[in-house]
Amino acid sequence: MASALGMTATLAGCGGPGDSSDVTLRLVAADYGDSKANSSQKYWDKLVDAYEADHPGVDVEVSVYPWTDVDRKVKEMVAAGHAPDMAQIGAYADYAAKGQLYKVDDVLSIPVQANFESQLTDAGEMDRTQYGMPFAASTRLLFFNKTLFSQAGLTPPETWDELAADARALKAKGVKFPYALPLGPEEAQAETMQWLLSGGDGYTDDVGTYSIDSQQNVDTFDWLKDELVGKGLTGPVAPAKLNRADAFAAFTRGEVGMLSGHPTLMKTAAAKGVKFGMVPMPGVDGRAKATMGVADWMMAFKKNGHGEQVGDFLDYVYDDKNVLAFSHEYDLLPVTSSASDAMAADKDDADLAPFLEELPTAVLYPVGKTSWAGVSADVKKQIAKAVSPGGSPAGILGSLQIAATTADSAAQSQG
């Protein structure tokens, strides 16, 4: 099936409008829906129908795959020599490093390219050239159960000390997970990054060099181990065994006092009748200077030579009405400044406003590094050991740092 998806009319390099009379563009995209009813295929089918109605010379075929499969599908297609024209997936760096992608300024019009939120543009760059186009974004906030907080006479925390004190009070009231700390393999790299940022550092320093074992990061995990996990404030499931999906599900059952969450948790919690509030993530001495942002990526492959047609289609994809339609369907944040302004001004989007306010200072994964995928996988496997009984935060972060530095050096020598 993958090879069939990648087969394309041999019209490489076609230029004028007359030459594009029978071009077929193929896009492979990820599914953001959780059922057939809200599958991303519906979003793309509607968008493509509208585009094709105004562009009779271009057909666009979109194949949507679950997140568990889509990155692998694209990798297989590219390896088989049948790259799609476009892919909307989780990472772009490997393809950019191999020279397989168009530069963004070779496909998008200047107004559309300039409209991306600046930190998302930066995250889409490799060696100061943009190859990744942000497609969807989210940020994180601290969710808290208002009912449980009210019963314990608490207010939402602004500092780590207050968070620990609130967790102790919640535990005394019998709350199952005072603070849910999902460091299981599903998405441990996200919870880790949120805490590293909360402690004043992150995965990389200001010039993009891995700094996983910095003193600030070690201090952060020392605190988590000693003040939360070690004092039994993270619940009956060890952080190593707690995945994000399970933590979210426990929150919707009213079993969690606090956790770090993204916009999709709002809908599921509300549907279960959980009364919740959201505040910026606490920092050591006050609200964290930065929160975590996540973006997914659109990229354009050079293989089929359809750069002009791809650019025209993507200009349409990034029109405000389409960006906002996607954001509304899946409780995600717009990736363009104009759509963000429109969302901020719309009273119907008030529930997303706190997440939107965090976006300008959000820090993203170092996705411009080809080594990041391996480093992220290492974090998922290893980081929970740092807070386990007898675990050493300095030791675990140190070993992760060595592996990251080695992988980064190898990637740069191949580049």
Alpha-carbon span 79 to 303, nearest angstrom: 12
Alpha-carbon span 259 to 84, nearest angstrom: 39
DSSP characters over 158-186: SBHHHHHHHHHHHHHTT-SEEE----STT
Q: Do domains 2-137+294-360 and 141-286+369-414 have the same CATH topology?
A: yes
pLDDT in tens, 16-29: 443 445 899 999 99
141-286+369-414 carries CATH number 3.40.190.10? yes
pLDDT in tens, 270-322: 999 999 999 999 999 988 888 999 999 999 999 999 999 999 999 999 999 99
Say whether pLDDT at 14 is over 60.
no
CB 21 within 8 A of CB 58: no
pLDDT-derived band at 15, boundaries 50, 70, 90: very low
User: Residue written as tokens 């599914």?
Assistant: 31
Burial 213-250 (b: 16+ CB within 10 A, else e): bbeebbbbbbbbbebbbeeebbbebbbbebbbeebbeb
Q: Determine how β-strand 133-139 pairs with β-strand 292-300.
A: antiparallel
- pLDDT of the residue at 415: 57
Q: Could you tell me the CATH superfamily of domain 2-137+294-360?
A: Periplasmic binding protein-like II (3.40.190.10)
Beta-bridged to residue 300, according to DSSP, are: 86
CB 404 within 8 A of CB 397: no
Write out the H or E segment, with its range, that includes residue 321: helix 320-330
pTM for the model stands at 0.87
Domain boundaries, the chain: 2-137+294-360, 141-286+369-414
pLDDT in tens, 310-366: 999 999 999 999 999 999 999 999 999 999 999 999 999 999 999 999 998 899 999
Burial 305-340 (b: 16+ CB within 10 A, else e): bbbbbbbbbbebbbbbebbbebbeebbbbbbbebbb
pLDDT in tens, 76-120: 999 999 999 999 999 999 999 999 999 999 999 999 999 999 999
Task: State which amino acid sits at residue 81.
Answer: G
Write out the H or E segment, with its range, that includes residue 62: strand 58-65
DSSP-based three-state secondary structure for 42: helix
pLDDT in tens, 148-183: 999 999 999 999 999 999 999 999 999 999 999 999
